[in-house]
Chain A
Amino acid sequence: MEQLADPHSGLVTRRTALKTFGTGLGTAALLPWLSDQGLAAFAGIQAANAVPNPKVLAPSQFATLETLVEAIIPADERSPGARAARVADYIDLLLSELERERVLEWFGGLAALDAAAAARFKSNFAALNAEQLDAILADISRNERAPQSPLELFFAVAKQATIQGYYTSEIGIQQELRYKGNKFLRDFVGCETEDGKDCPHCGQKHSGQ
């Protein structure tokens, strides 16, 4: 968020924030309820789509991380993936505030991914093709419930962070989940059996017991 204070990026006014915001979402009802600060922060995230500006990770580490998070939650026909949702930037921010030993675990995990890629495919992790990526991820996700090796443990931790970052992003909430809440309603919708009808969403009959 420091770019907001950067004179080169220009001060983010409510007007520019609204402009950025308006292209992403058609939720006019939301606008009056967001504070100026909220809008500015949001606009900042949108603006960050241009150039990632990692705080902790070196460019090569950032590339490895972006490749990993996109492999965990990829783009598909329904919605963009973790790369477009800026999950790597989010994790970088968290790392900038974590205690040093945790950050070193992430550095270790990213280095281990590159080492695995080099050993099997003589390549950086970020340069692997889809098939090669899948081979490595299949390997390190095998013991997800009870991770044993350092890479298995790193996968489990990175996946949790990816989930947290992706499904709290605008892409995750609006495009992938198609979440319908957080808007003004006259009445809470609910299951239509509650209104004495058969429900088209779940197939339950109003008469059913």
Chain B
Amino acid sequence: MQADRSLDVNLTRALEESKRLADQVKPGADRWDVIVVGTGAAGGMATYQLAMAGVKVLVLEAGRMIDVKTEYRTMEWPYASMRRQRLPPGERPIAIAEYNFLDRPYGGNTAYRQSSKVYSYAANSFTRNWVVDEREHPTTGTPYAWVRARVLGGKTNFWGRGALRYGPLQFNAASRDGFDVDWPISYDDVKPYYDKVDMLLGCSGTKEGLEQVPDGVFQRPYKLNCVEVAFKRAIARMGRHYIPGRAGVTTDGVLNKYRAKCAGRGRCGRGCDIGAAFHSPTALIYPARDTGRVTIRPYSIVSEVLVDQGGSRATGVRVIDANTREVMDFTARAVVLGAGTLDTARILLNSRSPRHPDGAGNSSGLLGCYLSEHIMGIRGSGYMPVRIGTESTLDDGRPVAPYIPRFRNITDRHPDFIRGYHFQGGGGCGEFPSMAHEIPGYGKAFKSNVRKYYPAIISFGGFGEVLPRKENRVLLDPDVKDAWGIPVLRFDYRFRDNELKMARDMADSIEEMLHVAGAEDIKIEREPLPPGWSIHEIGAARMGSDPKSSVTDPFCRLHDVKNVYLADASPFVCGGTQNTTWSILAMSWRTMDGLLEQMRTGSL
């Protein structure tokens, strides 16, 4: 295999720091009040809140430390790499299981459809050192594209920046359409935390007054470009909104020495090397560590929560060192799980003891059930006449595309499905003209047609709510184990009738909007991507007031083991159409307030 120097990032500093910390931090090395598992949005916010409140925290990260200055290669051009930033075969870390990331020239050609699968934005030369290798981390059961990152900051190092709130339509969804149950908490309970997250981390957006996606405390918004203004004006006549994307990026600055404000370079998905985009290390972990109350132990794979003889209290967690495979038990007064929805569920399912034979927190039998995310893959594109044949402009110097908020089942009732979907998308000149693949012909005519239509492209992708259903679930596989001997997850998860009808309507509605906007050469993709593709997984340890029908209480604390708190999206009841990260941050903050209150009142 040919060497490609752009793949060879110098990780020496991060690896040395990781080894030093892993060697130093052993059971008994110190006394910690709380153990936090995971360093992404959930674990990062939990660590930050606890450290700022004066609590001593042990943070366990399954992967290594990160060297953000070296690893965030924000402005690297494609031609800095002989492979143009694609990964060589065998180097695609999440290609091994069900998904064969056959890229163009084969991936886009109908003749190779049978061998072509999908090319994930999450597997590229920028993320290859962060995303897990499925040969070490297999899954079984139904296909599920489970994207995991084992490195400080987790998936927040390359997340999509969409910073949307849940609103009353999510918290009270069941009251509106009779399906399933409401959350045990309301938007009013979480709104103050969303506001505080906006102020702490910076959120760019515009006040719109829309019930389906409540406004926040916004910093300077990003503008629409020319094709987007034309599209917005057209669909306004249908009563539809098309608004600037809401981004978890600071445009006016925040009080954090690791972060500068956005400079409009538009390469955030590789990690923002000036820290304008929210990434957990720069935004939360480093400031928390500066308090002196945070100990980070990398290479720490948590296999289970340890529960005392009585079964109602956790004593700590069991850690397998990723390198040495040494098994260590760390103890603390409380345990916060922020390993990500699915890994948190897996840790709990694997925490089996005489009192909890089916896993800690599973007396309801519902641990692993009600897994949900978003159905996506439905796309539409076309050329907006206002920019056909015009010269290039700077159209992509921003972290997110604009956004068509949900418009179904808000005031009306769709005959075919409940809940709804939204579209994210925009257009204009991007770095790579993917529309060129659709321009016929060759030679000078082809080349000038690419140039002619390049500024005019507009395209959208839909995100639809997958209904939370008991039968969409994960279990521990009885036979298959990961590279460290921990049982892997077996998925039993499918899109069902409501999702598939919704997907049909998504395709029809984006086609209609593109027609109304006068777009030329409209193309519609009607096939959903495989389950898991949204990377918006929620549920699997849902919250509720009744221990018989839920896993955690309304403060995301296990009903059964009162000093274990879930900081990620695993307790979420339903997820609307919104990207999940901002809700994880708000809920993690709220959950830590609950934990701190218990510490103050002495019950911990």
Q: Interface residues, chain A, CB within 8 Å of chain B?
A: 1-2, 4-5, 30, 33-35, 37-42, 44-45, 55, 71-74, 76, 78, 81, 90, 93-94, 96-99, 102, 134, 137, 141, 144-147, 153, 155-161, 163-165, 167-170, 173, 176-191, 193-195, 199, 201-204, 208-209
- Contact A184 B432, CB 8 Å, known A44-B82, A97-B2, A191-B228: no
- B447 close to A (CB within 8 Å): yes
Q: Could you say which residues of chain A place their CB within 8 Å of the CB of B549?
A: none
Is the pair A201, B387 in contact by a Cβ cutoff of 8 Å? yes
Q: Which residue of A lies closest to B398 (CB)?
A: A188
B526 → A minimal CB distance (Å): 18
Contact A72 B442 (CB under 8 A): yes
* In the complex with contacts A35-B73, A188-B223, A181-B265 CB distance below 8 A: yes
On chain A, the residues within 8 Å of B105 by CB distance are 157-161, 164
How many angstroms between the C-alpha atoms of A165 and B85 in the bound complex?
Answer: 11
Extra contacts, 7 of them, besides A76-B447, A180-B392, A201-B391 (Cβ < 8 A), are: A39-B80, A73-B442, A97-B89, A170-B77, A182-B265, A201-B226, A201-B393
Contacts of A160 in B (CB 8 A): 104-105, 108-109, 437
**How many residues of B sit at the interface, in one of the four size bands?**
35 or more
Q: Beyond A76-B444, A168-B84, A191-B223, is A41–B110 a contact (Cβ under 8 Å)?
A: no
Q: Would you list the 7 A-B pairs with minimal beta carbon distance, nearest first?
A: A190-B223, A185-B264, A202-B226, A160-B105, A180-B394, A168-B78, A161-B105
Shortest beta-carbon distance from A188 to chain B in Å: 5
Q: How many A-B residue pairs have CB under 8 A?
A: 235
B498 within 8 A of partner (CB): no
Q: List 24 A-B contacts (CB under 8 A).
A: A1-B4, A5-B3, A35-B9, A37-B5, A38-B73, A41-B6, A41-B82, A55-B2, A72-B442, A99-B89, A164-B104, A176-B451, A177-B429, A179-B392, A179-B429, A180-B429, A181-B395, A182-B75, A184-B263, A185-B394, A186-B264, A188-B398, A194-B229, A202-B230
CB distance from B30 to the nearest CB of A (A): 36
Instruction: Map CB proximity to A onto B184-217 as digits: 1 under 8 Å, 0 otherwise.
Output: 0000000000000000000000000000000000
Which residues of chain B have a CB within 8 Å of any CB of chain A? 1-6, 8-10, 70, 73-85, 88-89, 104-106, 108-112, 220, 222-230, 233, 236, 263-267, 273, 386-387, 390-398, 429-433, 436-437, 440-444, 446-448, 450-451, 454
User: Which residues of the partner chain A approach B450 to less than 8 Å between Cβ atoms?
Assistant: 167
Given A180-B392, A201-B387: A30 and B226 interface contact (C-beta under 8 Å): no
Name B6's contact: one of A38, A191, A193, A202 (CB within 8 Å).
Answer: A38
Residues in A whose Cβ lies below 8 Å from that of B2: 1-2, 55, 93, 96-97
Q: A41 with B81: in contact, given A33-B74, A96-B2, A191-B224 (CB under 8 Å)?
A: yes
CB distance from B54 to the nearest CB of A (A): 38
Select A177's contact among B4, B233, B264, B392, beta carbons within 8 Å. B392
Q: Give the shortest distance, in Å, between B423 (CB) and chain A (any CB).
A: 19
Which residues from chain B contact A184 at a C-beta distance below 8 Å? 263-265
**Of all chain A residues, which has the CB nearest B442?**
A72
Query: Chain A's nearest CB lies how many Å from the CB of B10?
Result: 7
Report chain B residues within 8 Å CB of A209.
233, 236
A41 to B76, CA, bound (A): 11
Complex Cα spacing A90 to B86, Å = 12
- Residues in B with CB closer than 8 Å to A73 are 442, 446-447
Residues of B contacting A93 in the complex (Cβ-Cβ under 8 angstroms): 2, 82-83
* A72 CB contacts on chain B under 8 angstroms: 442-443, 446
Q: Which of B85, B108, B223, B263 contacts A189 (CB 8 A)?
A: B223
Is the CB–CB distance between B79 and A40 below 8 Å?
no
Most chain B CB within a 10 A radius of its CB, from A72, A163, A193:
A163
CA gap between A60 and B421 in the complex, in Å: 54
Residue from the list B81, B82, B111, B454 in contact with A153, Cβ < 8 A: B111
For residue B88, which residues in chain A have a CB less than 8 angstroms away from its CB?
Answer: 97
A33 to B220, CA, bound (A): 25
Chain A residues within 8 Å of B444, by CB: 74, 76
Q: How far is the CA of A161 from the CA of B436 in the complex (A)?
A: 11
- Complex: A157 Cα to B116 Cα, angstroms: 13
Contacts of B1 in A (CB 8 A): 97
Tell me how far the C-beta of A48 lies from the nearest C-beta in chain B, rounded to whole angstroms: 9
Report the nearest B residue to A180, measured CB to CB: B394
